[in-house]
Amino acid sequence: MPNHLKIDGKGGQFPCFWLDNSGGKPWSDLDNYGFTPTRTAQSFSKDTTSGSYALSDKFHVKQGEQVNVAAILATAHTQPYWDFGFAILVQGTTVAEVLFAMRPDGINQIGDTGPNVLLAAPSDGVTFSQAYKEADGTPKDATGIVLNGVDYGSIANAGCGNLSTYLSSKCKPSPGEYQILFGMFVTDNRVNPARPAAMVVPFFNVTQG
């Protein structure tokens, strides 16, 4: 069962695993995986994209077992149009499943105007859910999330806590050895180092399906 993440860029392990997109790691670090976060490679500029990523320990999945991932994407600034987080299930450097790719505000595209640049959709074998609004329609809150001194709650700044998305993905891959690669990035060189967007990973595990 996976229980650890090796973080490259900026992140930590308290109160749970987290990483933000001010880590300065170039997208080219992930070239070996051949993963494009947008639905068409032509619409993605890796030269202007940087952030942080984390790779889990290797773990074995048996017949009928299920991989589960929960994550929170939070932003500490308004209009997170160029921030995005993702998680993919990999075997070595081969992408087995896209678990999610999303902006912190729950939108699946990069940018705000012009042609839509859609982020990669979860793979067909992935059951995916997201929530960025409460039942009454108000935006979800990130109150209580403080990472590296940055408060993502709405009390600290009217432009934060109201732009968070809670994600859940699960899948039943073929038996074998896997890892999960998480990433929190920003494109178009629009990183906000003082108040970056972040990903929190409350848990990832393997259970009986």
Q: Contact, 70 vs 168, CB < 8 A?
A: yes
d(CA 185, CA 22): 8
d(CA 37, CA 207): 27
| Residue closest to 189 by CA, chosen among 76, 78, 110 | 110
Residue 8's contacts (CB-CB under 8 Å, 6 or more residues apart) are 23, 25, 29, 52, 53, 54, 55
For residue 205, give both structure tokens. Answer: 């595990």
Q: What are phi and psi of 29, to 5 degrees?
A: -60, -25
Task: Check residue 160 and give its pLDDT.
Answer: 45
pLDDT for residue 159: 45
Q: pLDDT tens digit string along 7-31? A: 999 999 977 899 999 999 999 999 9
pLDDT band at 42 (very low <50, low <70, confident <90, very high): confident
Alpha carbon 104 to its chain's center: 9
Instruction: Tell me if the bond preceding 139 is cis, omega within 30° of 0.
Output: no
pLDDT value of position 40: 83
Please give the Cα distance from 20 to 141 (Å, whole number). 18
Cα distances (Å, whole numbers) of residue 191 to 19, 101, 171: 14, 18, 32
pLDDT tens digits, residue range 129-164?
988 766 676 666 666 788 998 888 754 444 444 568
The pTM score is 0.92
Taking alpha carbons only, the member of 33, 164, 146, 166 closest to residue 100 is: 166
pLDDT-wise least confident of 31-35, 138-142, 172-176, 198-202: 138-142
Which tens digit of pLDDT belongs to each residue from 90-131? 999 999 999 999 999 888 999 887 777 899 999 999 999 988
pLDDT given for residue 138 in this prediction: 65
Give the count of alpha carbons within 13 A of 194, CB side only: 1
